[in-house]
Amino acid sequence: DIQMTQSPSSLSASVGDRVTITCRASQSISSYLNWYQQKPGKAPKLLIYAASSLQSGVPSRFSGSGSGTDFTLTISSLQPEDFATYYCQQSYSTLRTFGQGTKLEIK
């Protein structure tokens, strides 16, 4: 199976900050990388698919980049509603796998 590793596991930031979360795959996955946001008690929400394509309805402050094994999710200017847990997920293999998550907290 393809292992996905996110860093950091947790992050404290302030409203207005620029934040970057990293995801690394155990083998090359081309651009088959997706990002999700999850708030407590809610289902995850798709933010970015195919490494850099913004899902419909997602604010443009979210962006994704990378290919091969290294990927990043960037939030350009944190808003109060962005404090949540973020997951990466690979879709290169039919056996999908997620990263362990990055919890973004208010500083």
The footprint of other proteins (CB under 8 A) covers 1, 32, 34, 36, 38, 43-46, 49-50, 53, 55, 87, 89, 91-92, 94-101
14 Cβ contact partners less than 8 Å away, ≥ 6 residues apart? 78, 106, 107
Q: Which of 50, 106 has the CB closer to other proteins?
A: 50
Q: Closest approach of Cβ 11 to other proteins, in Å?
A: 15
Structure tokens at 8: 């950091």
Q: Closest approach of Cβ 101 to other proteins, in Å?
A: 5
Where b means 16+ CB within 10 Å and e means fewer, 30-67 reads ebbbbbbbeeeeeebeebbbebbeeeeebeeebbbebe
Q: Which of 17, 92 has the CB closer to other proteins?
A: 92
Q: Which of 29, 75 has the CB closer to other proteins?
A: 29
Q: Which of 37, 82 has the CB closer to other proteins?
A: 37
